[in-house]
Amino acid sequence: MSEVLYTPSDERVAGCRLTRYRRWLAETRGLDFGTYDDLWAWSVADLEAFWASLWEWCEIRAAAPYDRVLGSRAMPGAEWFPGAELNYADHAFRRPDDETAVLFRSEHRPPGQLTFGQLRQRTAEVAAGLRGLGVGPGDRVVAYAPNVPETLLAFLATASLGAIWSSCSPDFGATAVLDRFRQIEPKVLVAADGHVFKGVEHDRREVVRRLVAELPTVESTVTIPNLGLEEGGVTFDDLAVTGAGFEPVPVPFDHPLWVLYSSGTTGLPKALVHGHGGILL
């Protein structure tokens, strides 16, 4: 018989999300599941009841309600929550304004942090700048940038407009990035001038120039001066519209939120689309 290495305390079990969800189901639905297996069996036997309960449990905010949970069971192509209109970014700032949302550390930039209130305001300002560049629902905004606050802000702003986000790390070469971004015909490119790894600066401006030259659909390029290198064009700070209000655009439940990619080991990387509502739930 195997030795049990860890058992959570009764207090930890009582406070975990799964326990709270089971308690909520008993209180609001009259459903009492004694074990995890019992809950799982219900979740796959009654799909509509399970996902409707998650919608309510997660407090999803919608500008328009759904007509039904599962509009079509066809596979592939099942239709979830038809009629619903919402926005992923509308749910990103539900914590208190003064609560810390981002803690940033870098090899070469000063430490920083953003509260949820600051994150929402800066997202609104970047979204207004993107809107000024003509970005709207369905347009693609792509980033060639490291994991810095500007990249997060650009994503949330893109999502709030109903535009579609995609990104590649700046340690990718130009060909690898083009193999991905060409497939989705981006309208705006957000690009860092470079990044630092183990104390070494990597200037990526030449790669960015090639991306601009070989992505004919790109109408605007926004530079993140991560290394502070001189480069023409619009910078991230130039883009932001000071004092803009946060105005998330409602989109259908399955409206594309972002595009990820497979590794590309058996051909061109395959684009994988995730929707606003699916990622929320």
- pLDDT per position as a tens digit, 261-281: 999 888 899 999 999 999 999
User: In b/e form, how buried is each residue of 132-164, taking b as 16+ CB within 10 angstroms?
Assistant: ebebeeebbbbbbbbebbbbbbbbbbbbbbbbb
- As a whole number, mean pLDDT of residues 150-154 equals 98
What is the model's pLDDT at position 163? 98
How sure is the predictor about 130, in pLDDT bands with cuts at 50, 70 and 90? Answer: very high
pTM of the model: 0.93
Report the 10 Å Cβ neighbour count for 67: 10
List the alpha helices (DSSP H) in 133-259.
Answer: 149-160, 174-181, 205-214, 236-239
Q: Treating both helix axes as pointing N-terminal to C-terminal, what angle do 36-45 and 17-29 enclose, rounded to 10 degrees?
A: 60
Dist. CA 95–CA 87, nearest whole Å: 16
Dist. CA 193–CA 145, nearest whole Å: 8
Report residue 33 as tokens.
């599941």
DSSP state of 64: B
Amino acid in position 99: E
Report residue 246 as tokens.
């946060």
Q: Which tens digits make up the pLDDT trace of 108-123? A: 999 999 999 999 999 9
Q: Which tens digits make up the pLDDT trace of 27-85? A: 999 999 989 999 999 999 999 999 999 999 999 999 999 999 999 999 998 999 999 99
